Structure 1
Amino acid sequence: MQVASTGGRRLSHAALAARKLALENGRSVTRKELSAAGREAEKALQLRPALRLVLSELVACWGEQDWERLLVWPSNDYLVSRTGLNERTIRFALKALIEMGLIIAKDSPNGKRYAVKDLAGEIIDAFGFDLTPIYARRGEWQDLLIEQKQLREVRKREFDEVTICRRASEEALASLAEHYPEVDRTDLEEQYRNLMAETPRRSSGAIPAGVLNAWQALRISTEQTFYDSGKGGIGFRHIEANNGSPSESCNKGFPKKAEAVRSTEQTPEHLSPELILEACPAVSEYGQPIRDVADIVAAGRFLRASLGAHESAWREAVDELGAVKAAVAVLLVVQRYEDDVASGENRIRNPGGYFRAVVRMIKDRKIDLEVELLAMRRRRMS
């Protein structure tokens, strides 16, 4: 005599491990707490959309009974009506959730899911799914989320460094082509093209091993080539000879410090160095004292590179706003970017592009530098 198949589930290690999980003695779990643990599990395990839908509906079925296990017993037809998925997808999703140790199948003798009631009609037990592992493993979900956040931060810094090196290499190659066209750039440009092809987009995942180091090496090579081409500013011979006695001061022709700024760009009171230092303490990265307008312009020109903004962005800002307001815009963006990173929100993902956008909004009178600086200073003093 053959024994007919009962249609039971295959035993797995994950199912046995999940059965050992239990709630604390006397612990009652609300639907809100279970839902929060479920959402953390979805994010930590990066569940597929179908699994998320099914898990969310299972959690929603929890009736907050005062039991030692979190039991629910929805039918497949109910899950189909709630999720919009077909029954085959529902069965595969339930199987996957069981194999991942998120839920435990508690099967009845006939394979149906139903509640068990006493003589008074009170539900005392049920056959269906046990959601206890979702809540019992909430500490594990939180650890995984922290680990994923740290990994995202590391990847972000790597991509930021690649962006900085790429733009610096572009600028060095462009400068070589402009100032020293006779220098052979073939190898450097070939390396640049190869690295561009190997570097993935930010949304595609981690940077392949060695790509970041290759970009850093390329930046050093291109900048060193440009430096060597110009002799580092030394070793030049004077082309023109002045054999006569000078009739004018030797300092003639050298701009004074204040002549770096046009007279029409003298900073008004609301853009004074004092206000800028109070509103944008990040200007301390410049490493030089800020005493007057020329210092503001010098700091803005210097810190522009720290944003990863191309030289063309600086030239555009100077053409549209003037040197003073362009420099103040740089300091404003540097401070906003530092505040954004410190807060952990990371909303400014491309500070160089953000600088271009701020410049254009200032030009279109959508941003008032005076209002922004006063607001930033007020927030720091409050």
Structure 2
Amino acid sequence: MESEYVTTPFGRRPMTLALLLKQRRGEAIAAGTTRNKWKLFRSACEARAGLGVTDRALTVLDALLSFHPEDELSGEKPLVVFPSNAQLSLRARGMAAATLRRHLAVLVEAGLISRKDSPNGKRYVRRGREGGIDEAYGFSLAPLLARADEIETMAARIAADRQMLRAMKERLTICRRDIAKLISAAVEEAVPGDWQRLSSMFQAILQRIPKAANLENLPPILQELETTRENIINLLDLQEKIQMPSASESQIERHIQDSYPESMIEFEPGLESGQGVTVERQTERNDQPQTKSGDDRPEGQAYGGAGWRFSVRKRAGELKSFPLGMILQACPDIADYGPGGAVRSWRDLMTAAVVVHRMLGVSPSAYEAAASVMGPAHAATVMACILQRAGCIASAGGYLRDLTRRAERGEFALGPMLMALRRAQEQPAARVS
């Protein structure tokens, strides 16, 4: 704790109850709390919007942290820095004195630093005979350390929201492309249907896409586009069934061979073996001799009799989804790192995963690569599994990178991992009973 008393402002700055409350909160540092000042600063930069500070104010905070002699901030050591305006301006990239004062006031108002003014308003330190600091006047970094947990949780939530928004934008882009090409293919092939109306509906939905997309206004539009795509695929599948010629049993067998079947149905949905097996089987089918030749087919399309046959392919690295409740049953430890010590939604799971990957020493680049290949929700699920087995894994970062490479090749599936962890959770309960 930096001080046991309240410091009132020097000069004409008034004392307010809000300022008193912030000072007391800034001194409420839990015993043993320590943080690396630069990691905490990066979290503050990530949580900038939630803290209500500007990038220029963070530049001033960066300069203030540079005057703290150690990399670790600890409640057991002095946290007051006392630079002169000239030195502070130099380390703040030459910021003008008036601008410097304005952004210092922003940091105080945001509750990231507090002032500890001397009797004459100057910043200085009084040292004892052994050279230690007896009293220091300047800016206290205690509020920043006291709010470390809050800032890190806020930064993790913002990072999870950003990943979720990026994933939604990618899904929306793919959905737009699919709808446009499916309608174009149907029109070119003269497939019966009111394609003009569907095209007009599609354009109307696109007009409603906001320029500033966020997690509140984007999901309804994405849902409409995915529903439209599903309706178009259903229409094309129905047209294929109508145009499919009747045939005997032997003719049907030959037709299956000639239509390049690309079914992605998994025979064991609870224990899938990964996309690599599906691709291997499809390659074997394509290598078989065909009884008739066909034109090159666009990806996701296949000829079936006189009509079109459309099949939706999985992208490399895409994994099967599982219910959130099942994940929490298999990996109960992840709930402790969610907002408020609980995981109630996928966003909470991704927020907890960001906290956990930092705690386990997984580099940001490794986690971002996993989220890019598997998707943010699946990457968070994998981190929950790694946390559950943390005692058996020597290097969480290396293990995650290996799983990412396997997922990229289509050789990794979440099902077996979740089932194994779920059985491990059930076995102790069975022994007790």
Query: Which TM-score applies when normalising by structure 1?
Result: 0.60
* Aligned counterpart in structure 1 of residue 145 of structure 2, from 132, 135, 140: 135
Using the TM superposition, give the Cα deviation of residue 89 of structure 1 relative to its aligned residue in structure 2, in angstroms: 1.9
Q: Does 1:58 align with 2:64?
A: yes
Using the TM superposition, give the Cα deviation of residue 292 of structure 1 relative to its aligned residue in structure 2, in angstroms: 6.6
Separation (CA, whole Å) in 1 of partners of 2:253 and 2:28:
84
Aligned 8 A contact 1:15 1:99 in 2: no
Structure 1 residues 145 and 255, CA, compared in 2 at 3 Å: closer, same or farther?
A: same
SS at match of 2:11: coil
1:361 aligns to what? none
Using the TM superposition, give the Cα deviation of residue 155 of structure 1 relative to its aligned residue in structure 2, in angstroms: 2.3
2:221 aligns to what? 211
Using the TM superposition, give the Cα deviation of residue 69 of structure 1 relative to its aligned residue in structure 2, in angstroms: 4.5
Separation (CA, whole Å) in 1 of partners of 2:21 and 2:14:
12
Using the TM superposition, give the Cα deviation of residue 211 of structure 1 relative to its aligned residue in structure 2, in angstroms: 0.9
Separation (CA, whole Å) in 1 of partners of 2:252 and 2:141:
84
* Aligned counterpart in structure 2 of residue 283 of structure 1, from 275, 278, 282: 275
2:368 aligns to what? 345
Structure 1 residues 59 and 237, CA, compared in 2 at 3 Å: closer, same or farther?
A: closer
Task: For 1:166, give the aligned amino acid.
Answer: R
Aligned 8 A contact 2:276 2:411 in 1: no
Separation (CA, whole Å) in 2 of partners of 1:13 and 1:199:
42
SS at match of 2:316: helix
Structure 1 residues 157 and 285, CA, compared in 2 at 3 Å: closer, same or farther?
A: farther
Using the TM superposition, give the Cα deviation of residue 82 of structure 1 relative to its aligned residue in structure 2, in angstroms: 1.5
Structure 1 residues 71 and 28, CA, compared in 2 at 3 Å: closer, same or farther?
A: farther
Aligned 8 A contact 1:23 1:136 in 2: yes
Structure 1 residues 285 and 172, CA, compared in 2 at 3 Å: closer, same or farther?
A: farther
Task: For 1:7, give the aligned amino acid.
Answer: R
2:242 aligns to what? 234
Separation (CA, whole Å) in 2 of partners of 1:39 and 1:166:
36
* Aligned counterpart in structure 2 of residue 11 of structure 1, from 12, 16, 38: 16
CA offsets per residue over residues 131-188 of structure 1, 9 Å max, x none?
Answer: 0111222111221123223323432443343234323322321122112266432221
Task: For 1:45, give the aligned amino acid.
Answer: R
Structure 1 residues 334 and 159, CA, compared in 2 at 3 Å: closer, same or farther?
A: same
1:166 aligns to what? 176
- Structure showing greater radius of gyration is 1
1:37 aligns to what? 40
Aligned 8 A contact 1:12 1:99 in 2: no
Which deviates more from structure 2 when the two are superposed, residues 151-160 or residues 165-174? 151-160
CA offsets per residue over residues 52-81 of structure 1, 9 Å max, x none?
Answer: 211111111113599654101112221211
Separation (CA, whole Å) in 2 of partners of 1:186 and 1:378:
42
Separation (CA, whole Å) in 1 of partners of 2:258 and 2:196:
42
* Aligned counterpart in structure 2 of residue 73 of structure 1, from 71, 78, 82: 82
Structure 1 residues 88 and 147, CA, compared in 2 at 3 Å: closer, same or farther?
A: same
Aligned 8 A contact 2:48 2:54 in 1: no
Aligned 8 A contact 2:40 2:152 in 1: no
CA offsets per residue over residues 95-139 of structure 1, 9 Å max, x none?
Answer: 111011000011223222122345776531111111011122211
Aligned 8 A contact 2:274 2:411 in 1: no
Structure 1 residues 155 and 195, CA, compared in 2 at 3 Å: closer, same or farther?
A: same
Aligned 8 A contact 2:75 2:142 in 1: no
Unaligned runs of 5+ in 2: 1-9, 262-271, 289-296, 302-312, 321-349, 354-365, 375-404, 414-433
1:334 aligns to what? 316
Aligned 8 A contact 1:38 1:135 in 2: no
Separation (CA, whole Å) in 1 of partners of 2:81 and 2:280:
68
Task: For 2:285, give the aligned amino acid.
Answer: A
Structure 1 residues 199 and 68, CA, compared in 2 at 3 Å: closer, same or farther?
A: same
After TM superposition, the structure 1 = structure 2 runs for residues 301-320 of structure 1, keeping only pairs within 5 Å, are 312=298
Aligned 8 A contact 1:175 1:226 in 2: no
1:294 aligns to what? 285
* Aligned counterpart in structure 2 of residue 196 of structure 1, from 196, 206, 231: 206
SS at match of 1:109: coil
Structure 1 residues 123 and 196, CA, compared in 2 at 3 Å: closer, same or farther?
A: same
Separation (CA, whole Å) in 2 of partners of 1:105 and 1:192:
57
Aligned 8 A contact 1:162 1:215 in 2: yes
Separation (CA, whole Å) in 1 of partners of 2:78 and 2:133:
13
Separation (CA, whole Å) in 1 of partners of 2:104 and 2:277:
55
Using the TM superposition, give the Cα deviation of residue 338 of structure 1 relative to its aligned residue in structure 2, in angstroms: 5.6
Separation (CA, whole Å) in 1 of partners of 2:224 and 2:127:
69
The number of equivalent residue pairs is 290
Separation (CA, whole Å) in 1 of partners of 2:214 and 2:181:
27
Which deviates more from structure 2 when the two are superposed, residues 117-126 or residues 214-223? 117-126
1:272 aligns to what? none
2:92 aligns to what? 83
1:48 aligns to what? 54
1:277 aligns to what? none
Separation (CA, whole Å) in 2 of partners of 1:291 and 1:223:
22
Unaligned runs of 5+ in 1: 239-249, 262-279, 298-310, 316-329, 352-371
Aligned 8 A contact 2:80 2:139 in 1: yes
Where relative contact order (Cα < 8 A, 6+ residues apart) is larger, the structure is: 2
